[in-house]
């Protein structure tokens, strides 16, 4: 059989997914397996690296089995993963020295505080576009080096390799032959100089992280080695080139065809992430991070980004922890039982508040409860919180001088028409929902296909199709009143003015 598919590996916070895309750019098969986090102590969140790889491999095999495909049918592989989560493993055996520390974990707070006292905040912000914060990878790597016996000595002897989850997957896909990452993933570690597209030796030294531990950072479209069927267990005889690595949010922005400066998308997943293409130079805007979007075709596109830790996860919390929703109950139907939120606001700071406020010691809260409040008001408030948090980051982009004429959206939550309409209303700009909502896998698949000459970047823009455009219909006075209520709720939670 001819090589008729591109495979995307999309490893996220809660699942490892494999997708097959045909030569017309359509998703024709997919499979996923759960990734289960561990919570060894309050505030700590870790993942079993071996379980991550096993889940991803099982998803690859299942997606191929649905079509009767083998490696002989796969033209290229692209890898996209959730970012900031990182781990260290033995270069010879591939054995992890410690569980992967997940992006939301706060076990590194003491290290971040120490670095702040040492004056690293400004250096990290200026060089990397990020913050000295426990969210990013640098402190996680430092924590493993400082707390796992013998690891620092082994790292300094060159026996260990480190990386974000993409590096771990590629290491396993290639049987340990490739230790690599791309510019987009590296730019989320707080160790990577944006202007030079290289690991920053001064920051690495200040953080106590040996440069030899880190993977080479390459353009997103590169030759990252080959997957060998014999080593991974997938059916087939042919080796498959790995031609793309991208961080998941950047891959989503690429998949949304946000190729022009000022084009913006928001993904509503476990977390919510707003990304804006800022062109060929990084822009460090107040409250937002600057990162590499991707490097391909001889050009680097940068992004400005606002992350909110708890977007879709807020609705999961309402269902699983608070019991406000029964299993399988339709969120939109419940939220539509009331005409508005009844003055109730949920500020989902379960692990602190991230962009654009950055109050990491804040705790979540429900503000505005009265005796008239019912569960539908609370559910609606949780749904609206997803839109308000997006609005905060859009306002930060506008304050930074980036005009936002429209917003593209993706992620499973955007099937909810009430959410999309409220998002348009609260922003006062059109919200454009594409036909295919899973843009992350499509983005890295397309990048991988470009790597073997199958597609051009323009092909993705040509294939992008709108499902529905949500036009704002709320009056300016109503929008202002609702946003004032949200800002007051945020101030109640953080103790600081929201604006």
* pLDDT computed for residue 27 by the predictor: 93
10, 80 contact by CB (below 8 A): yes
Q: Can you tell me the distance from the alpha carbon of 365 to that of 347, in angstroms, rounded to the nearest whole number?
A: 5
292, 254 contact by CB (below 8 A): no
Q: 186: which residues sit within 8 A by CB, 6+ positions away? A: 192, 199, 217, 292
Beta-bridge partners for 264: 276
> 231, 248, 265 — which closes off a domain?
248
Q: State whether 403 and 309 are in the same domain.
A: yes
* pLDDT computed for residue 499 by the predictor: 67
- pTM > 0.85: yes or no: yes
**96 falls within a domain:** yes
Tally of CB atoms within 10 A around 161: 22
> 248, 273, 292 — which closes off a domain?
248
Q: Which CATH number fits the domain that encloses residue 27?
A: 3.30.420.40
* pLDDT computed for residue 1 by the predictor: 43
Q: State whether 167 and 206 are in the same domain.
A: yes
Q: What is the dihedral of CA 171, 441, 125, 111, to 10 degrees?
A: -50
Q: State whether 33 and 157 are in the same domain.
A: yes
Q: Can you tell me the distance from the alpha carbon of 377 to that of 383, in angstroms, rounded to the nearest whole number?
A: 10
Q: State whether 223 and 277 are in the same domain.
A: no
**How does strand 272-279 pair with strand 299-308?**
antiparallel
Q: State whether 48 and 98 are in the same domain.
A: yes
151, 145 contact by CB (below 8 A): yes
Q: State whether 172 and 199 are in the same domain.
A: yes
**276 falls within a domain:** yes
Q: State whether 28 and 61 are in the same domain.
A: yes
**441 falls within a domain:** no
Q: Can you tell me the distance from the alpha carbon of 355 to that of 278, in angstroms, rounded to the nearest whole number?
A: 17
**49 falls within a domain:** yes
**450 falls within a domain:** no
Q: State whether 167 and 114 are in the same domain.
A: yes
Domains: count for the chain = 2
Q: 268: which residues sit within 8 A by CB, 6+ positions away? A: 311, 312, 386, 409, 410, 411, 412, 413, 414, 419
> 248, 282, 300 — which closes off a domain?
248
Q: What is the pLDDT along the chain (499 residues), one digit of tens a residue?
A: 478 999 999 998 888 999 999 999 999 999 999 999 999 998 899 999 999 999 999 999 999 999 999 999 999 999 999 999 999 999 999 999 999 999 989 999 999 999 999 999 999 999 999 999 999 999 999 999 999 999 999 999 999 999 999 999 999 999 999 999 999 999 999 999 999 999 999 999 999 999 999 999 999 999 999 998 877 778 888 899 999 999 999 999 999 999 999 899 999 988 899 999 999 999 999 999 999 999 999 999 999 999 998 888 899 899 988 888 888 889 999 999 999 999 999 999 998 898 999 898 899 999 999 999 999 999 999 999 999 999 999 999 999 888 899 999 998 899 999 999 999 999 999 999 999 888 899 999 999 999 999 898 888 888 899 999 999 999 999 999 999 999 999 999 988 776 6
Domain holding 68, by residue range, is 5-248
Q: State whether 342 and 473 are in the same domain.
A: yes
Q: State whether 353 and 268 are in the same domain.
A: yes
**294 falls within a domain:** yes
**437 falls within a domain:** no
* Phi, then psi, of 457 in degrees rounded to 5: -60, -40
Q: State whether 35 and 180 are in the same domain.
A: yes
Q: State whether 68 and 114 are in the same domain.
A: yes
**Apex CA 241: angle with CA 250 and CA 99, to 5°?**
60
**451 falls within a domain:** no
């Amino acid at each position: 059989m001819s090589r008729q598919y591109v495979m995307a590996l999309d490893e996220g916070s809660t699942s490892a997914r494999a997708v097959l895309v045909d030569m017309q750019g359509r998703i024709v098969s997919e499979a996923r397996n759960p990734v289960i986090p561990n919570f060894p102590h309050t505030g700590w969140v870790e993942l079993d690296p071996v379980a991550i790889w096993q889940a991803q491999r099982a998803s690859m095999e299942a997606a191929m089995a649905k079509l009767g495909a083998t490696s002989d049918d796969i033209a290229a592989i692209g890898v996209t993963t959730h970012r900031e989560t990182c781990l260290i493993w033995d270069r010879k055996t591939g054995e992890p020295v410690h569980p992967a520390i997940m992006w939301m974990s706060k076990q590194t707070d003491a290290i971040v505080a120490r670095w702040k006292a040492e004056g690293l905040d400004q250096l990290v912000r200026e060089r990397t576009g990020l913050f000295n914060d426990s969210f990013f990878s640098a402190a996680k790597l430092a924590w493993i080096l400082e707390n796992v016996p013998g690891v620092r000595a082994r790292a300094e002897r060159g026996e260990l390799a480190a990386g974000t989850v993409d590096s771990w997957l590629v290491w396993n896909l290639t049987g340990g032959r490739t230790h690599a990452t791309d510019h987009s993933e590296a730019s989320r570690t707080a160790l990577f100089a944006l202007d030079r597209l290289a690991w920053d030796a001064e920051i690495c030294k200040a953080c106590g992280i040996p440069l030899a531990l880190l993977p080479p950072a390459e353009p997103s479209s590169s030759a990252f080695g080959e997957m060998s069927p014999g080593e991974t267990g997938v059916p087939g005889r042919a080796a498959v080139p790995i031609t793309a690595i991208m961080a998941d949010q950047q891959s989503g922005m690429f998949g949304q065809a946000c190729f022009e400066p000022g084009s913006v998308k928001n993904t509503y997943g476990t977390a919510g992430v707003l990304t804006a293409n800022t062109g060929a130079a990084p822009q460090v805007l107040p409250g937002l991070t600057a990162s590499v979007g991707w490097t391909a075709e001889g050009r680097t596109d940068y992004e400005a980004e606002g992350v909110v830790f708890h977007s879709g996860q807020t609705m999961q919390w309402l269902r699983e922890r608070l019991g406000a929703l029964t299993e399988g109950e339709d969120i939109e139907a419940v939220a539509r039982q009331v005409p508005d939120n009844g003055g109730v606001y949920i500020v989902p700071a379960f692990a602190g508040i991230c962009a654009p406020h950055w109050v990491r010691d804040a705790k979540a809260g429900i503000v505005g409860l009265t005796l008239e409040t019912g569960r539908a008001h609370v559910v609606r408030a949780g749904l609206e919180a997803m839109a308000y948090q997006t609005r905060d980051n859009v306002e930060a982009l506008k304050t930074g001088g980036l005009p936002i004429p429209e917003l593209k959206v993706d992620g499973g939550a955007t099937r909810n028409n009430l959410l999309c309409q409220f998002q348009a209303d609260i922003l006062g700009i059109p919200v454009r929902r594409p036909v295919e909502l899973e843009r992350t896998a499509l983005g890295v698949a397309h990048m991988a296909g470009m790597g073997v000459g199958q597609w051009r970047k323009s092909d993705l823009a040509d294939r992008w199709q709108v499902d529905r455009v949500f036009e704002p219909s709320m009056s300016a006075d109503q929008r202002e009143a609702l946003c004032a209520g949200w800002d007051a709720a945020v101030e109640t939670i953080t103790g600081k003015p929201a604006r």
